[in-house]
Structure 1
Amino acid sequence: MFGKLMKYELKATSKWYLIVAGGCLVLSIFMGVIGSNVVTGASFISNNTKIIIQLVMTGIFFAGMVALNLTNFFIIIRRFYNNIFGREGYLTWTLPVGSHSILLAKIFTAFIWTLFCFLTVILSSSIVSAIIGTSQGTNVFEILGSMMDYLGASFIIQFIVYYLLTTLSGILLLYCAIALGHLFSNSRIVMAIVIGFVLWVGLSLIGQLLPVVNLDSLSILKLLTSSTLDDLDIVNFIPAYIYEIVKIIPMYFTIRYVTKYKLNLQ
């Protein structure tokens, strides 16, 4: 049943994601073509015009990426609130499936689409860079390969794990705020926003105290003399991993407790 819930969630939301992501990819091709013409220096374009075009292009591309992430943000919040605590909740909670399956289907669907948006941003940026680089005779992917070699496989893997955990905890923070806001009789949405802001600020401040990167060990000399970032031995993601897991577990069970014992659909 969990698989069917996941399939339904992905199918119900896929249209909007594919439309916005497709628009971003088309936009990236368009931006790359225009950018290549500007960078190579068409004779009829003045320097001031080039600067203006570059600024406009950057703004449009940035707006497209923001639109993609905002779309994801609003969809995962809206579907969770409507399906769990809204009128659609009457149908959701009559399904012959446990509350864990319902909540996990929502969480993992949001997780998948958030990763999808992140990969779309990377792909769009790569397309723009590749088109502009090709127009200048530069192989952008060789440069990226060199950068990844310098970062080192260990750092990249640790960063990916860290990103996955922070993405999951970020989704749960949103859902936890919605669940806690549901405990109030009136102004539930407003209270959810207030609680979400308080949680975000409080957890961010605590996170700043974690020794994730030892900046004292970082210097220009070491950067220039080391073959990879791993050689610097400055990155320690373990405290960050523990902190994210410590956040994830209580937030999930807070959501579970509210939906199981304090659910009051209106």
Structure 2
Amino acid sequence: MFGKLLKYEFKSLGKWYLSLYAITGLLSLVIGFWVQTIAYRSEHNARFLENGPAFAESLLLGFTIFAFAIIIIGLLISTFFLVVSRFYKNIYGRQGYLTMTLPVNSHQLILSKLVAALIWYFIASLVILLSGFIIAGISLSQQMPSMADFVNEAWTQFIFLISLYFLDGILFFFSIFINTVLGILLSYFAISLGQLFKDHRVLLAVAFYVGLNFVLGIIQTMTSITSTVNYEEVMVPIRQNPVLLVLNILMALGFYFGTHFIMTKKLNLQ
């Protein structure tokens, strides 16, 4: 049943995200080839090199880049709001009456939405990263020999750093994963707290979310300050604070079980 819940999550949001991904990829290709064309004309046309592209072309290129930036930002923001919106509507909205009749428990409901949210965040980050590589790769294709040397050197340095700081690298990505899970579960818990009240549930959920984020930020900052950090740790930026990492895990568990408690013991559907 857990698999069916995940399938439903992807089916309901798949078309929306696929459209955003397609637009992002298309604009990446357009910008990449456009910049490549400008670079080629600059190298082979002295007049173009002196005067640059026409005003209309510059304006249109600037608008395209701006639209691309808006889409990238919108992709991240929409991912958050759609994930949060689906949790609220499916659990505490009108759809909650149908959701709660499904032959699944609260743990399966929360985990299915959490896993789906993590996958969407991962895909969104991957699309943004690939878009940057597409633009850079196409734009710099005229300098492929030097680009190849740069990539080889960068890869060599990357392998060296991985071998030198392998454990730190694993902890770094694990910390990113925990922070993402923490953020999602915090939003679920804030929504759950908001539905405890009869009126203004959405507004109260937002207020709880902002307040919890503020308190969590203070706790994390104080933990970072009071934790012992030696000179070697300062010289390795990716090295994680183990105390802060454990704290984030405990906070994530607290938000998870807090959400589960409200869903099972304090559920108040309208």
TM-score (norm: length of structure 2): 0.83
Within 2, Cα distance between the matches of 1:233 and 1:113?
27
Three-state SS of the structure 2 residue aligned to 1:184 is coil
In the alignment, what sits opposite 1:30?
30
Match in the other structure for 1:60: 67
1:117-152 CA distances to partner (integer Å, 9 max, x unpaired)? 111111111111111221223236435424533542
The 5 A counterparts of 1:80-99 are: 80-99=87-106
Q: 1:143 to 1:63 in 2, by over 3 A?
A: farther
Any conservation in 1 of the 2:27–2:64 contact (CA below 8 Å)? no
- Compare 177-186 and 58-67 and name the one that shifted more: 58-67
Deviations 1:75-94 (A, max 9, x none): 10111010000000000000
Question: 1:167/1:143 Cα in 2 relative to 1: closer, same or farther (>3 Å)?
Answer: farther
Is 1:142–2:152 an aligned residue pair?
yes
Corresponding residue number in structure 1 for 2:78? 71
Give yes or no for the alignment of 1:163 onto 2:176: yes
Between the aligned partners of 1:233 and 1:135, the Cα distance in structure 2 is 34
Tell me which amino acid in the other structure corresponds to 1:70.
I
In structure 1, the partner of 2:258 is 254
- Identity, % of aligned positions: 31
Q: CA deviation at 1:185?
A: 1.4
What is the CA-CA distance between 1:24 and the residue it aligns to? Answer: 0.7
Letter paired with 1:198: G
RMSD over aligned CA atoms reads: 2.8
**Structure 1's 207 and 4: CA in aligned 2 closer, same or farther, altered over 3 A?**
same
In structure 1, the partner of 2:192 is: 179
Alignment of 1:1-266 (within 5 A): 1-42=1-42, 43=45, 44=48, 46-47=51-52, 56=63, 58-137=65-144, 138-139=147-148, 141-142=151-152, 144-146=154-156, 148-149=158-159, 151-152=161-162, 154=166, 155-209=168-222, 210=224, 217=232, 232=236, 235-266=239-270
Offset at 1:159?
2.0
Contact 1:165–1:245 (Cα < 8 Å) also in 2: yes
Note the C-alpha offset of 1:234: 7.4
Total equivalences in the alignment: 255
Name structure 1 gaps, 5 residues minimum.
223-231
